[in-house]
Amino acid sequence: MIGSRTSDPSRPLFTSSGLPDRRRVLFLKKTQRQQERRESLSSSSLSPSSLSYHAIFERKGYNKHRQRYNHALADSRLDREREREESSLRYTTDTLGALAEDSNLYMTSRFIHLHRYSCYNDAENGGSSL
C-alpha cells in the first residue's frame, strides 16, 4: 500500500537526522485541510450563513473556473469538428467539381468527335456538312 507509511500514526514526525519527515508532514496537512473542509460543509448544510466567506468563494471560484474550462474545451471541440466537416465537404465538392469538369470535357470531346465523324460520313455520302 502506497500511503500506509505516511498514514501510520505510530510513525514519527521527525527522521533520524532530526529533520521533519516531509511526506508525513504533507499527509498531516492534507488530512487537516480535509477535516476542516468536512466541518465547514457539515456546518453549511445546517445553516448556510455559518459557512465562511472564504469557503464559499473558494468553492464558487473553483466551479466557475471549471465551468469556463469545460465550455472552452467544448467550444474547441466543436470548432475542430466544424473545421473537419468543412474540409471534408470542401474536398468532396472539389473532387466532384473536378470529376464533373473531367466528365464534361470527356463528353464534349466525345460529342465533337462523333459530330465530326457523322459530318465526315455525311460528306462522303453526299450529305450536307457544316
- pLDDT tens readout for residues 13-69: 667 776 777 787 888 889 899 888 888 776 655 455 555 555 665 666 666 666 777
Residue 105 is predicted with a pLDDT of 66
Q: What is the pTM of this model?
A: 0.26
> The dihedral of CA 122, 128, 129, 130: what is its sign?
negative
CA distance 109 to 103: 10
Q: How many CA atoms lie within 13 A of 60 on its CB side?
A: 7
Grid look-up 498531516 returns 28
pLDDT tens readout for residues 101-110: 666 666 666 6
Answer yes or no: is pLDDT of 125 > 70: no
Rounded to a whole number of angstroms, the CA Rg of the chain reads 40
Length of the chain: 130
CA distance 130 to 121: 12
H and E: helices and strands count for the chain? 3, 0
Residue 1 is predicted with a pLDDT of 44
Mean pLDDT is highest, among 44-53, 66-75, 121-130, for 66-75
Determine the 3-state secondary structure of 45 from DSSP: helix
